[in-house]
Amino acid sequence: MGKSFIKTLLSLSLIVCFASSGCLKTRAQLKEEGSDKDVNKPIAAEVKDVQPQGRYEIDEIKGEITRLTGRIEDVERQGKQANQGVSAEDLKKLENRMVELEQAQASMLETMKKAQASIPVPDQTELLEKGKTQFREGEFDQAIASFSIYLKNPRAKKAEEATFYRAEAYYELKQYKKAIVDYSKFPEKYTKSKRLRAALLKIGYSFDALGMKEDAKGFYQELVDKFPKSNEAKIAKKKLK
């Protein structure tokens, strides 16, 4: 595959990566949101806001920890300014506040560890079959979720199959950039796979759907060159005309 195609795939990978993290808030944003809070707000009220009640999902707990970290930094910053006209009593309040916030954060970290430990590890075979069933039934979002969980296991025995199915699910949802990222793992990683021909063809289709005709032609041509007698190559030849 030419360098231009590899660059294209890398660019698409970055696009997908940034898109998936776009909803995350930075610590600076969280601090800015909390900067107008009254530093003298009773600590009991602050801690009550962040104490886990058993209903938090792990991601929510992580978000609360991030918020707490920002608040601790606020307190530290205000403590450094204590010598500028702040009384010893006020300084003591700030120190106590920081200690309690740190204790609340430690409590939440412990809760998160317990929550993660309590999550049952799904059977890998069942998880893969579940994803395939969801795919066949047109439940593409659910299928993607199942395949993604399966692929998190570095020892997944059928990672190639799960990757292809996930690519197909993205393609069905017209999420072509994400589909390309998964399909591209075949010419890059699974070069001996029987699904390589289909993956190359679908990469071409996906680029076509994105209006990137020249990029699509490159993959059609690669398919024709490497697998000239295949059915996929016959389709690719028509696309090249």
Check residue 205 and give its pLDDT. Answer: 98
Domain range annotation of the chain: 1-20+176-241, 37-118, 121-173
pLDDT tens digits, 167-178? 999 999 999 999
Higher pLDDT, 20 or 217: 217
150, containing H or E segment = helix 140-151
Higher pLDDT, 83 or 200: 200
pLDDT tens digits, 127-154? 999 999 999 999 999 999 999 999 999 8
Check residue 63 and give its pLDDT. Answer: 67
CA dist 147 and 160 (Å) reads 11
Fold of 1-20+176-241: 1.25.40
Burial zone of 21 (CB within 10 Å; 0-12 exposed, 13-18 middle, 19+ buried): exposed
Higher pLDDT, 116 or 104: 104
pLDDT tens digits, 84-99? 555 667 667 766 776 7
pTM of the model: 0.54
Cβ proximity of 31 and 70 under 8 Å: yes
